[in-house]
Amino acid sequence: MSYIEYVTMDHEAEDPMPDLRRTNGFSEADLARNRSGAISDQQMGKLFGRAFKPVGYPLTALAAWLFACFVVKMVVPDIILVIVAMVGGKMTTAIFGVVTLGCVAAAFVGFLRSSRLTVLLLQDLSRGKSAYMDGRLHVSKAEEEGLGLDKFHGRNRRTRHYVMNNEYFEVDEEAAEVAERFGLTGRYRLYFAPKSKLLLSLEPAPSAK
């Protein structure tokens, strides 16, 4: 292997952009459209999925919890359920009520958040314009109490954000891991939908290239 091939191979291995594109769901063509100040056609459909994300987890947790309760009711013999009710007393009813109400309340809040995001996103899509900011990129990690079966088993829900100039953009855990693995603490340019503040793409800031 020649020296030029070695250097090229090493540079490609250290380039974070392929992984950033894959984990954040944008292509080179999308990035080119964002650079020109527009949202690509391919990104429009994906943005709706992100707008519904706040209500997605609570609804899934509620459905899974109610289905689990239904299965227990259908599979476990009535005599055992009666014994559990007698032994647990009001505690059993309280646990079921707290978990169910927690899922319903979270789903309602998630619905309000998704509705607000959708209204803002429709404004973004009607204009078709993208915005950007330059700055230091950081990853924020947080854990929220789980819902439904997650709450029953003591599992927390983890959320990840890209943070730039005190603005938070929610990303998948894999996208956050890529940023951490490559140590992306330099200056980056982050493209987003102006009203809804949903992430479109990102790249090293021009002065950092």
pLDDT reported for residue 200: 96
Beta partners for residue 135, in sequence order? 188
pLDDT reported for residue 62: 79
pLDDT at 88 over 70: no
Q: What percent of the chain has pLDDT over 90?
A: 36
pLDDT reported for residue 8: 44
Averaged pLDDT, 79-92: 63
181 alpha-carbon distance from chain centroid:
19
Q: What is the pLDDT of residues 128-148, one digit of tens each?
A: 999 999 999 899 988 777 665
The beta strands (E) that lie in the chain are given as: 131-136, 138-145, 156-164, 167-171, 187-192, 199-204
Parallel, antiparallel, or unpaired for β 187-192 and 199-204? antiparallel
Would you state the torsion angle of the CA atoms of residues 16, 18, 24, 27, taken in this order, to the nearest 10 degrees?
140
pTM to 2 decimal places:
0.72
pLDDT band, residue 24 (cuts 50/70/90): very high
Decide: 147 and 77 in contact? Cβ < 8 Å.
no
pLDDT band, residue 152 (cuts 50/70/90): low
Q: What percent of the chain has pLDDT over 70?
A: 78
Decide: 196 and 51 in contact? Cβ < 8 Å.
yes
pLDDT at 29 over 80: yes
Q: Mean pLDDT lowest for which of 24-28, 35-39, 115-119?
A: 115-119
pLDDT band, residue 79 (cuts 50/70/90): low
pLDDT reported for residue 60: 81
pLDDT at 81 over 80: no
pLDDT reported for residue 61: 78
Beta partners for residue 145, in sequence order? 156
Closest CA to 162 of 12, 23, 18, 13: 23
Closest CA to 137 of 192, 68, 91: 192
Q: What is the pLDDT of residues 186-198, one digit of tens each?
A: 789 999 999 999 9
